[in-house]
A and B are shown apart, each in its own frame.
Chain A
Amino acid sequence: MPAPIIKVDAISKSFGAFKVLDGLSMQVMPGEKLALIGPSGSGKTTILRILMTLEKIDGGHIQVDGEQLYHMERNGQLLAADERHLARMRQKIGMVFQLFNLFPHKCVMDNVTLAPMLTKGVARAAAEKRAMELLDMVGLADKAKAMPAQLSGGQKQRVAIARALALSPKIMLFDEVTSALDPELVEEVLNVMRKLAAETDMTMLLVTHEMGFAHDFADRVLFFDRGRIVEEGKPDEIFRHPKQERTQSFLKKIIAAGHRV
């Protein structure tokens, strides 16, 4: 059995008096597609943000690809990671945000090529060639020269996916990537993610309220509540036969709100 690519060990994190993560542990295998579901404030987005080093942890350890994320080993001692260590670890991870976070002053092409050119020293021609392949993959090859403000929400999100992919991360984090979209634009983004899952062996972690998509997409579903994983299992187990009472009542509410499972 291969080693897990992500190993989260007893992570705790508070915002002021509010404990978002309470001794959370989890493991993700290479290539695994994971859906994180649960009520808001349950800590599912926070764990993605922690993996992307956007939030600091209060306690615990995280291993990514065999190395400590927030700690460095020096002469057998574990020290807090410095910026250089974090930068090296971030190369393994990419993230797509709920609100796209495109750079509004740069055209689509420059959005995608900026990071590879700056962080990996890729020459412009090579970066643009790769960007065109990625834009083609997300169905936006004709929008390379467009500014983000000229795009629809769904198009923006597909550019954001291409931008994250341009750095070839081993792990991709998707934080409610369709939550800010008009209903008719959701599907075009989900299609890109299906394609990604089918064509690559990237490890993908997905926080979502699209239960139907989570069911079809994920190898494993984690149900979060109050900073802990209450239940986990194959999509069928979680969605059809949830064991925990919390999971059942959450899914009932979601279905009542009109979501397909």
Chain B
Amino acid sequence: MTQWSGYLGLILQGALVTIELTLMGSVLALIMAFLAGMGRVSRFFILRAIATAYIEFFRGTSIFVQLFWAYFVLPFAGLSLTPLQAGVLALGLNVGAYAAEVVRGAILSVGREQYEACTALNLARWQGMRHVILPQALLVMLPTFGNNAIELLKATSVVSLISLADLTFQAQVVRSQTGSTLMPFLSVLIIYFALALIISWGVRTLERRMARGLDGVRV
């Protein structure tokens, strides 16, 4: 029994790495999503082109390959990353590309009359974006952002391939040391699922709070 609890400790250490990757990856993904998503609706061709290129490239190539590039190829260009840094970079850039399309779609979903009100009130384009359009678009983005965050959580398991001791990696370790398959894989199954539930719940709570007062019912 004490042996099992020792192995469980290993798995929980892996869970911490997974959580760390998910949080840091999500922050990077969020930043990239807003940069690229707003770039896509920019007035300037060059910004639209850069944003489109980024989105298409990171959606169109596999996250495995992106991770291998971040970890194994970048050092040849003089940039050596730790496994954690490489993992955050690949996950953030990959999921950010998907989320950028969410940002773009949400911005376009805000009605034309809101843009016209901004013009009539003489707000500069970025002021209207910051104070009027984005706050309303954010509410549209949130549910899909929740999906993206869960995707990112599940994608963190790829970092086990560059020997980062995340949840999946630790499960393999425990399995090879104990010969037991069920216990480690059942534990990681439950932990991934619990983490995903926490993300869902968090996003829903945030959504409820932000929608408060908007429709006159949820005051």
Contacts and interface: CB of A to CB of B under 8 A. Distances in A.
Contacts of A167: 121-122
Interface of A: 52-54, 83, 87, 90-91, 94-95, 97, 99, 101-105, 107, 114-115, 118-119, 147, 149-150, 163-164, 167
B121 to A, nearest CB: 4
Contact of A103 (B116, B119, B120, B132): B132
Nearest to A116: B121
A87 B214 contact: no
A119 B124 CA distance: 8
A52 B120 CA distance: 6
Report which residue of A83, A97, A105, A163 has the largest number of chain B beta carbons within 10 angstroms of its beta carbon: A105
Contact of A54 (B116, B135, B139): B116
Given A114-B131, A147-B214, A150-B219, A87 B120 contact: no
A97 B214 contact: no
A53 B113 CA distance: 14
B214 A104 contact: yes
Interface in B100-142: 113-114, 116-117, 119-125, 127, 131-132, 135-136, 139
B120 A149 contact: no
Interface string B177-219: 0000000000000000000000000000000000001111101
15 contacts: A52-B119, A54-B116, A54-B120, A101-B116, A101-B117, A103-B114, A105-B136, A107-B213, A115-B122, A118-B123, A118-B124, A119-B127, A147-B216, A149-B215, A150-B216
Contacts, number: 71
A54 B123 contact: no
Interface of B: 113-114, 116-117, 119-125, 127, 131-132, 135-136, 139, 213-217, 219
A149 B122 contact: no
Contact of A97 (B113, B122, B125, B131): B113
A114 B119 contact: no
Contacts of B116: 54, 97, 101
B122 A163 contact: no
Nearest to B138: A105
Contact of B131 (A54, A90, A118, A164): A118
B75 to A, nearest CB: 46
A99 B125 CA distance: 22
Contact of B120 (A83, A107, A164): A164
